[in-house]
């Protein structure tokens, strides 16, 4: 009996890691007005540059470079209609052009879709400052065009002796202001090697089931606040469009969503950090959450579980701490494969949580899947079966070559290494 599957092995040792430390701050009225103008100018320049590049390609099949858009920005500032662009710091405007260049590079290399225009209502308000546009001294951060430092809530200190190389100021839909400082973190280094490995099966009732048999219950943050969310959404639907009361109601809805997202992110950070610190090898499945969200009955629960964010955190933390992350193919029959004898059942409906194999073994569906995931991942790591490059972007996928691998070989590789 054989199974078809392919895997991704990610094992990178990082010596110098740059981390973004995000803090909340409370701007004065003058600072809020200056930042709001900067956000608007960044959005305006980005959209104008995108329109210019799209028009050049559509009409003349000409690719416009970053240097060309930078020259356009200089010319725009000299016009009477766009003279307001010169009133804000020039660094965030140049940075948004660099971000646009990166978006086009990802599009040309088929890692992302074509860049889209920024919307005043839907896009995230943000502005990026480099070292020439801010001053950081003695724990005080002052941005260009401002005389007073930002009133930052220092929830944790920056790494000792380090100064930020880039500062990004943002405002979320709930009206909260954040500043993100990018700097090197010497505390991030390769952890001592351990001899443990774990397979992870994600789910809805149990967010994570480990090959050790441990089940971590899904907190279901969205369901806990669903009643409150429904109440504020009903209030929003009653407000007249374009009114000040509707804007207040919209922010109430945004605050509930922000509360849910913050708690979910905090839980996932603690869980992924624990898994990476305790295990040398972590094996997961390459699930396509985007396709699974098409299931109308499970879409809400899958979105609340946030499997994609869980995988993303495992990927970069494994790189940080020198661990090995193995991703097996999504078509690997982890739930239908008996971890004792290697037999595969034809069907396994979602309502079947415990099943018995013909060999007499009784399996918990999730624990059995996690053990099979671990066995397949260790077989690939030990034998080099079906290895493919790590995905380049959170949404990108590379071509996969399927290979036929006997389950007995996978189970043999899963045995403890002596």
Catalytic residues: 201, 285, 366
Would you say 305 and 207 are in contact if contact means Cβ atoms under 8 Å apart? yes
Dihedral sign from CA coordinates of 182, 186, 187, 188: positive
CA torsion angle 138 141 143 148 (round to 10): -80
Angle at CA of residue 364, ends 360 and 366, nearest 5°: 140
For residues 175 and 171, what is the distance between their CA atoms, to the nearest angstrom?
6
Residue 152's H or E segment, with its range, is strand 152-153
Query: Quick count: other Cβ atoms within 10 Å of Cβ 130?
Result: 16
Residue 298 is encoded by which pair of tokens? Answer: 């499970």
DSSP state of 157: P
What is the number of helices (H) and of strands (E) in the chain?
11, 18
Query: Quick count: other Cβ atoms within 10 Å of Cβ 273?
Result: 15
Angle at CA of residue 318, ends 312 and 319, nearest 5°: 95
306 alpha carbon, distance to own chain's centre: 10
List C-alpha distances in Å: 243 to 65, 247, 248, 253, 310. Answer: 42, 7, 9, 16, 39
For residues 236 and 250, what is the distance between their CA atoms, to the nearest angstrom?
6
DSSP state of 318: H
β 177-184/18-25 pair status: antiparallel
Would you say 411 and 339 are in contact if contact means Cβ atoms under 8 Å apart? yes
End-to-end CA distance of the chain: 28
Whose CA is closest to 145, among 162, 163, 132, 155?
Answer: 132
Contact partners, residue 383, CB within 8 Å, separation at least 6: 409, 413
């Amino acid at each position: 009996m054989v199974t078809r599957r392919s895997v991704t092995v990610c094992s990178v040792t990082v010596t110098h890691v740059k981390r973004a430390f995000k803090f909340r701050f409370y701007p004065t009225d003058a600072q809020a007005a200056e930042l709001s103008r900067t956000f608007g100018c960044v959005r305006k320049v980005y959209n104008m540059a995108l329109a210019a590049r799209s028009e050049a390609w559509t009409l003349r099949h000409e690719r416009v470079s970053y240097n060309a858009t930078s020259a356009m920005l200089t010319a725009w500032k000299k016009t009477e209609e766009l003279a307001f662009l010169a009133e804000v710091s020039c660094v965030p405007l140049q940075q948004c052009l660099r971000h646009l260049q990166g978006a086009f590079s990802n599009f040309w290399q088929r890692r992302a879709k074509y860049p889209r225009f920024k919307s005043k209502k839907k896009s995230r308000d943000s502005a990026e400052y480099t070292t020439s546009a801010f001053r950081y001294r003695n724990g005080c951060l002052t941005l260009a065009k401002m005389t007073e430092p930002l009133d930052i809530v220092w929830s944790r200190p920056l790494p000792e002796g380090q100064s930020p190389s880039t500062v990004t100021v943002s405002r979320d839909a709930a009206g909260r202001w954040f500043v993100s400082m990018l700097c090197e973190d010497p505390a991030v280094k390769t952890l001592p090697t351990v001899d443990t490995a774990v397979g992870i099966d994600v789910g809805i009732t149990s967010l994570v089931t480990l090959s050790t048999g441990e089940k971590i219950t899904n907190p279901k943050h969205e369901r806990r606040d669903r009643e409150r969310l429904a109440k504020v959404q009903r209030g929003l639907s009653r407000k007249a469009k374009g009114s000040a009361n509707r804007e207040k109601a919209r922010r109430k809805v945004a605050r509930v969503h922000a509360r849910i997202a913050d708690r979910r992110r905090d839980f996932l950070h603690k869980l992924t950090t624990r898994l990476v610190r305790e295990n040398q090898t972590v094996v997961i499945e390459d699930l396509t959450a985007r396709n699974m969200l098409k299931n109308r009955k499970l879409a809400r629960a899958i979105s609340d579980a946030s499997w994609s964010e869980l995988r993303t955190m495992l990927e970069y933390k494994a790189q940080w701490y020198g661990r090995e992350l193995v991703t097996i193919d999504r078509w690997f029959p982890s739930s239908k494969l008996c971890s004792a004898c290697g037999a595969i059942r034809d069907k396994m409906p979602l309502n079947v949580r415990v099943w018995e194999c013909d060999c007499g073994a009784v399996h918990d569906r999730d624990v059995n899947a996690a053990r099979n995931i671990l066995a397949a991942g260790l077989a690939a790591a030990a034998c080099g079966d079906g290895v493919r490059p790590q995905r380049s972007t959170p949404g990108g996928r590379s071509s996969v070559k399927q290979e036929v691998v006997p389950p007995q070989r996978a189970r043999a590789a899963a045995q403890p290494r002596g």
